[in-house]
Structure 1
Amino acid sequence: MTGGHDVKGEGAKASSRARFLLTGALLFLAVVFVALGTWQIQRLFWKLDLIARVDARVHAAAVPAPARPDWDSITREKDEYLRVTATGTFDHDKSVLVQAVTERGAGVWLLTPLHREDGTMVLVNRGFVPADRRDRADRAEGEALGLTGVTGLLRISEPSGAFLRSNDPAGDRWFSRDVAAIATAKGLTDVAPYFIDADATQNPGGLPIGGLTVVSFRNSHLVYALTWYALAAMSVVGVYIVRRRSMSSH
């Protein structure tokens, strides 16, 4: 009898210890989930502020593209999608074609160096060219000559390449608009560390087609926050269930 009583007592202690550990684990998870949810809420407000600032830049009056003294201070958060203007002469012989997928289908972006009057250069994404018109002869009518003005959106360089595709400068195959790599491959100097996405001003012959910049930001932070908070609530419910069963067993 005494031995049986000891076994039952030890079993009750083990069960109580297990419930205590489970309660502690659930409370810890609840705190972690609440922290993660709160972090996502902070990210949500940051993203909404970013979207508002970018929208303001896109629809603001165009300003001169940053000159050499301002190049070092350019950042993605502060300057990308700024509406800018630039004037110069295009060097069509040193254009590059960058793989593109747009609302108009697959094709290429036509990036051409613009020699500015201050002696510097900036790459201009003049727009989209369908895959079946990528040969220079098929779009020659659109090659602007002489002093030309460009209006568009300032974009930050896209180094390294695209997803699963690396740029091949030696083979003149490009999958991202990597300003530094393009400048090196084409022997360009004094090149701005950004490029300009030209607006929808129509080019002679209809090509290239500008104004196809997609300005959008993935914003799932509220969904993530609600998910973390829901998991926190489930953890608290778990604590309640464990404590209730513990009280009913006594």
Structure 2
Amino acid sequence: MKAATQALRAATRQAPSTLRQQVPCRAARRFISDTPRRYKQPVDDPNFTSILDNPPELIRTGRKHGKGLIVLAIIPITAFALGTWQVKRLEWKTDLIAKCEDRLVAPPLPLPPKIDPEAVPEFDYRRVTATGHFRHDQEMLVGPRMRDGEEGYMLITPLEREGEGTTVLVNRGWISKSKKDRKSRPESLVQGEVTVEGLLREPWKKNMFTPENRPDKSEFYFPDVYQMAELAGSQPIWVEQTMEPDLLTVYDYQAKGIPIGRPAEVNLRNNHAQYIFTWYGLAVATSIMFYLVVKKPPTDVTRRVRLNKQW
């Protein structure tokens, strides 16, 4: 009985291998076809070539520069043009100052009875003399004007030339605000015939920040020569009285309310050299900025990638 049981177990262990030998493999029953195999992915093709194997070309891609680049290009061109214009202005101002200084060294010229206002620019800063009587009742104050930190006014008095029958406007100089009233400065009210020596000046022009004059209230913020001449019945001729006072004389005049005249010198501003440096410096700086912006790609937008034309 025991021997029969062992023989049955041995037969059972050999059965699966025998069945496997009897059942044919499914793969063995497949037929071989001549049709080329279609690969699911390019990498399965043994003839596949990667784009990394082709010669690459580095290019820039991304967003291009915007309209701000045009503005940045216009700035240096404009600054250079303005700097060149200031060079010409410097030449013009230098020649003008030289002409005015030449007129200062010439001896004083007696002021003619009749003067053409159109010819005054040709004699700007020319030293002249005029004789007559001051019309203190028609004097005008222009200001306020500061002098050494103190507020005051320019005293304008018509000079009536009796022998010639004409009147001109004389800028006698600066007085302090405390001497605005004529009664507080009797020593400034010169009587009798006087001879004034000064500079023949071209009519002034106000800037955009200066308010308009109010002749009806005797308020003058800038010397409008034609307006003041019409009010005083004189020629539109402006003469600035000159003097060379020392420090003690200035203090004495200021205390007494006597007008302090201007020195005989050219006071034309000449800042064009600074403007040239400013505009040309701006042109150079903005040109460098433009170059750096064009050369450097936009941040976080432009990338360097490989260009491959053989996919």
Per the normalisation by structure 1, the TM-score is 0.74
Q: Name the stretch that deviates more: 112-121 or 91-100.
A: 91-100
**2: CA distance between counterparts of 1:192 and 1:55?**
26
**1: CA distance between counterparts of 2:62 and 2:117?**
67
- 1:55 paired with 2:138, answer no
- 1:108 paired with 2:159, answer no
What's 1:231 paired with?
Answer: 282
- 1:179 paired with 2:247, answer no
Q: How many residues align?
A: 232
**2: CA distance between counterparts of 1:216 and 1:73?**
21
| Residues 161, 176 of structure 1: 8 Å contact kept | no
> Using a 3 Å threshold, how does the CA distance of structure 1 residues 197 and 171 change in structure 2: closer, same or farther?
same
> Using a 3 Å threshold, how does the CA distance of structure 1 residues 103 and 241 change in structure 2: closer, same or farther?
closer
Q: 1:97 aligns with which of 138, 141, 150?
A: 141
Structure 1 gaps of 5+ residues are: none
- 1:35 paired with 2:81, answer yes
Q: CA deviation at 1:164?
A: 3.8
Q: CA deviation at 1:104?
A: 6.8
Counterparts of residues 66-215 of structure 1 (less than 5 Å): 66-75=112-121, 78-99=122-143, 100-103=145-148, 105-116=150-161, 117-158=163-204, 163-186=209-232, 188=233, 191-200=234-243, 206=253, 207-212=257-262, 215=266
**2: CA distance between counterparts of 1:123 and 1:55?**
23
**2: CA distance between counterparts of 1:233 and 1:12?**
28
Q: Secondary structure at the match of 1:89?
A: strand
Q: Aligned-residue CA RMSD in angstroms?
A: 3.6
Greater helix share, 1 or 2? 1
Higher-Rg structure is 2
Q: CA deviation at 1:197?
A: 1.4
Structure 2 gaps of 5+ residues are: 1-50, 52-56, 298-303, 306-311
Q: Secondary structure at the match of 2:157?
A: strand
> Using a 3 Å threshold, how does the CA distance of structure 1 residues 158 and 139 change in structure 2: closer, same or farther?
same
Q: % of aligned pairs identical?
A: 33
| Residues 200, 209 of structure 1: 8 Å contact kept | no
Q: CA deviation at 1:233?
A: 2.5
Counterparts of residues 16-31 of structure 1 (less than 5 Å): 18=65, 29-31=75-77
Deviations along 1:166-187, one digit per CA (max 9) or x if unpaired, are 322111222222233223334x
- 1:218 paired with 2:269, answer yes
**2: CA distance between counterparts of 1:115 and 1:216?**
28
Q: Name the stretch that deviates more: 133-142 or 145-154.
A: 133-142
**1: CA distance between counterparts of 2:76 and 2:207?**
41
Q: CA deviation at 1:121?
A: 0.6
| Residues 175, 258 of structure 2: 8 Å contact kept | yes
| Residues 229, 235 of structure 2: 8 Å contact kept | no
Q: Secondary structure at the match of 1:166?
A: coil
| Residues 161, 174 of structure 1: 8 Å contact kept | no
**1: CA distance between counterparts of 2:75 and 2:210?**
37
> Using a 3 Å threshold, how does the CA distance of structure 1 residues 122 and 42 change in structure 2: closer, same or farther?
same
